[in-house]
Structure 1
Amino acid sequence: MENLKANLVRVLEVTKVSPLPASPSSAADFSLPFTYLDALFLKIPPTERLFFYSLPDPPLLDSNSIVTHLKHSLSLTLQHFLPLAGNLVWLPESPKPTVLYSPGDAVSLTVAETDADFTHFSCTGIRRVEECRPFVPELPAVDDSVPVMALQITLFQNRGLSIGISNHHAFVDGKSSIMFLKSWAHIFKHTQNNPESPITLPPELTPFFDRSIIKDPKGIDLLYINYWLKKTNPTDPSIKSLKYFPNLGVSPEMVRGTFELTRTDIENLRKSATKEDESPTRFSSFVLAFAYISICAVKSARIEQKNKRVYLGFYADWRARLDPVVPTNYFGNCGGSHGVFAEAGALEDDEKGLGVASKRIHETIQRLDENVTKGAEETLSKWEKVEEEIKFVGVVGSPRLGVYGLDFGWGKPENVKMVSIERTGSISLADRRTGDGIEFSLVLSQPEMLRFASIFSDGLRTL
């Protein structure tokens, strides 16, 4: 992989960007306690996203000016997001890690350039998974410390640029990560003509850091932490380490495919899923998309034993479901892993499969509104059982994150990729660039991907 990066990109600089030194907040230590919702992802590899932007032709600014202002606006933004410039640390005397920012801490920012074809990398389609990795920054971990975030800007010969972000999932979820990026874009745009002008963030982009709102009377945080320590070092689980769990995902020979479900597709799925119901349930777009993607994934896997169970897993936001309700701008992890089992044969049924999958996913989501934390203690132990099943179909991300709303002043991204799915084996969901429908990506072997693409498109045509 290092050779691939060296051949594809030229690193111009690796610099550190600190919160603006003149800010009073950046002159003092700032720490955040580790909640059980953070501990759930203690050993999970970083979440990695890539945003590809076209630049005007001719460009309004030269690339040096763009990079200079990206750095300056990043420094301004970090005043509001101090922990992102810090580290996840595990002190010897502490039973759990802490997120700590100290004056002088900074975010690693790599600036690179490439002669690669911008259109090739910014388009959808089927691509080798390793192609985009050179544009993503590394987030190295040692036993007692790991950076919370790293960034990379890659310039494509005045055609465009990419912004790559790596986040430690044990500190932020997707909602928080996108909030930070939207804040950076907001400050970039509003200080472009006057870099020294004072700027405040709108309420929806102002982070809420108070961790006391996350209640944990059962001590689930230490339960999760002990699980991960035992999992990574069975012979001596007392050894504390922040190193990631070995990659859960796939080999470099695998391919990434990106597909879309239009609003019309989703409406047709809705009709098909409820055609036999006298009182049809109003399934959400997420439910219908997840159900249909799962069916296509199971069919393309060619599971021989039709009575084998398939686990349909998803991540749900808990902010509005907890008691007390957590503000929408809470910055950190605030959600959990959920799912439901179904038999492979039932999902493959052309007449009833979509209805079966949609109903089970829908009912699982409905139960979250009744008691979202029920069974939280067993979340990780349930993963152990899932590993033994014949097929796992898991989705991450959400169309509600609005990744295509991330505008630095150059317009919407041409394409957004969640690169980290190659390491976790999950399917990423997002909004479409056009603003309607759902875009998703998954990683499979090339033969299985071609089967998936055929099953996916043929199924939509026959609805």
Structure 2
Amino acid sequence: MALPQLRVLHTALLTPSPASPALPPRSLPLTFFDVKWLHLPPVERLFLYRLAPDADVPAILSALKDSLSRALGAFYPLAGHVRLTPGTTHNRYDLFYQPGDAVPFTAAEYDVDIDDLASDDPVKVAKIASLVPDLPKGRAVLAVQATLLLPGHRGLALGVTVHHSACDGTSSTHFLHTWAAACAGAEPPPPPPVIDRALIPDPGGLYDIYMKSLPPMISNGDEFEFASKKPVVDDKLLATFTLPQQLLESIKGAVAREASRRCLPPPRCSSLLATYSFIWSCYCRAREPTPRGEKRKSYFLFSVDQRARLRPAVPEKYLGNCLCPAIAIAAEDEVAAAGAGGLFAACAAAAAAVEDEVGEGAQGRWDGSVARVKEAVANGTLSVAGSPRFRVYDVDFGFGRPVKVDIVSVANTGAISVTEGRGGSGGMEVGISMPADAMDRFRRCFADAIASLSPLRAP
């Protein structure tokens, strides 16, 4: 069956408001936290909204554009682009804004009913890939697309593409909440971003250490464009798996009981670590089995926000990257074990990875973090995009909360996405992209893992 065709209605280039001369040219040097992302593809978020039958669609599109321009007045670096810093060594990059820089806002139509996209069931990635925009040439860092879903304009798909070298998820979702508040007229508005890269000291020369590990096209200072979307594999699917709060409590209990059975202290097991442990265990169980006699390590990579841990601490609203990778490593057969055994192995490894990044002496090991990530990637790591702290289901532009939020780019990166559960009842949502046969195996493992915990749940 042929895929529906996207029809572009128009594209507007939106400059920050207030316009120049209030906003002079400005160069923000990339820090060692930023430069690690230069060679990676952008993050593509897709927000799905249901519109009222009598919604004034032209007024909604106009309000989205006007409020985006106003939000960019505070987040003006996102209207700029990454460049080689003039007059410096060949491997120094900055995020540069000058008056006249703009963000493309594309309005489009798509012949897909919102109910076909808002379900948690697997959907073809090819069916939603066109709902998130490409970044313009020239290493621009932000693009936006608003797509009306037919028939009847009952839905709106808002695609937001941000390059990670400009900022992390904390910053990009701060921008999204600011844009939504401006559109909805919410008072008071979110606090403005803190735009000061001098807040990130680099006494150990981490920028140069990280730069040397990047691909030659970047580390040698050659001209390059940000990685674009990969061709979508025909059978690649994206599905959402919900872990209700009750299930997360069952996971925590199972891990604690298994630790007691082994006469070991229980590992740290927050709701987020419980989510990681459950999904990692299911993922390992759903993989093709290892050849007999072969031992395989499994890697699970997630980010730790360092804003509050630097000395002095970096403000929460700092605009930029402030993440370090935590890498959990365990024997795959142990993580894949059914029941509490697999959950314990996964949780213990994830908790140890957190401690490695927040414990004593963690910052002294940052010089080796890129090498550790490379080792994990070379061995097939499962990584995480997103966080429940970002409150993406609170991004309300005045026409209601999103009915579904996806990170479409996980289909390119092989990561899983993690958000807070919908409806305010706690829990977590995890987005996973896989070919159809692998998705079938994962869904069975997910259901079996839930069933195995059911007898252990508190009445």
Distance 1:22-1:424 versus aligned 2 partners, 3 A rule: closer
Q: Note if 1:429 corresponds to 2:418.
A: yes
Distance 1:393-1:38 versus aligned 2 partners, 3 A rule: same
Structure 2 distance, partners of 1:92, 1:167, is 24
Structure 1 distance, partners of 2:199, 2:330, is 35
Structure 1 distance, partners of 2:273, 2:232, is 26
Give the drift of 1:403: 0.7
Q: Note if 1:273 corresponds to 2:273.
A: no
Quote the residue 1:222 is aligned against.
Answer: 208
Counterparts of residues 72-221 of structure 1 (less than 5 Å): 72-91=66-85, 93-94=87-88, 95-141=91-137, 145-156=138-149, 157-190=152-185, 201-203=189-191, 206-221=192-207
Give the drift of 1:413: 0.2
Structure 2 distance, partners of 1:139, 1:438, is 30
Q: Note if 1:253 corresponds to 2:235.
A: yes
Contact 1:111 1:154 in 2 (8 A): yes
Letter in 1 for 2:73: Q
Give the drift of 1:169: 0.7
Quote the residue 1:336 is aligned against.
Answer: 324
Quote the residue 1:326 is aligned against.
Answer: 314
Structure 2 counterpart SS, 1:67: helix
Instruction: Report the TM-score when normalising by structure 2.
Output: 0.90
Q: Give the aligned CA root-mean-square deviation in angstroms.
A: 2.1
Structure 2 counterpart SS, 1:411: coil
Contact 2:67 2:179 in 1 (8 A): yes
Contact 1:96 1:225 in 2 (8 A): no
Q: Note if 1:392 corresponds to 2:388.
A: no
Structure 1 distance, partners of 2:19, 2:290, is 64
Q: Note if 1:415 corresponds to 2:404.
A: yes
Quote the residue 1:195 is aligned against.
Answer: none
Structure 2 distance, partners of 1:115, 1:249, is 21
Gaps of 5+ in 1: 192-198
Give the drift of 1:243: 2.3
Quote the residue 1:194 is aligned against.
Answer: none
Distance 1:240-1:200 versus aligned 2 partners, 3 A rule: farther
Quote the residue 1:13 is aligned against.
Answer: 10
Q: 2:344 aligns with which of 355, 362, 365?
A: 355
Give the drift of 1:446: 0.9
Structure 1 distance, partners of 2:106, 2:283, is 36
Quote the residue 1:288 is aligned against.
Answer: 274
Structure 2 distance, partners of 1:250, 1:283, is 36
Distance 1:290-1:248 versus aligned 2 partners, 3 A rule: farther
Structure 2 distance, partners of 1:54, 1:162, is 9
Alpha-carbon deviations, 1:332-373, whole Å to 9, x = none? 111011202111111122241111211121122123222442
Instruction: Report the TM-score when normalising by structure 1.
Output: 0.90
Structure 1 distance, partners of 2:232, 2:6, is 23
Letter in 2 for 1:437: G
Structure 1 distance, partners of 2:433, 2:310, is 33
Gaps of 5+ in 2: 454-459
Structure 2 distance, partners of 1:21, 1:270, is 50
Letter in 2 for 1:432: G
Give the drift of 1:450: 0.5
Structure 1 distance, partners of 2:358, 2:251, is 25
Distance 1:34-1:67 versus aligned 2 partners, 3 A rule: same
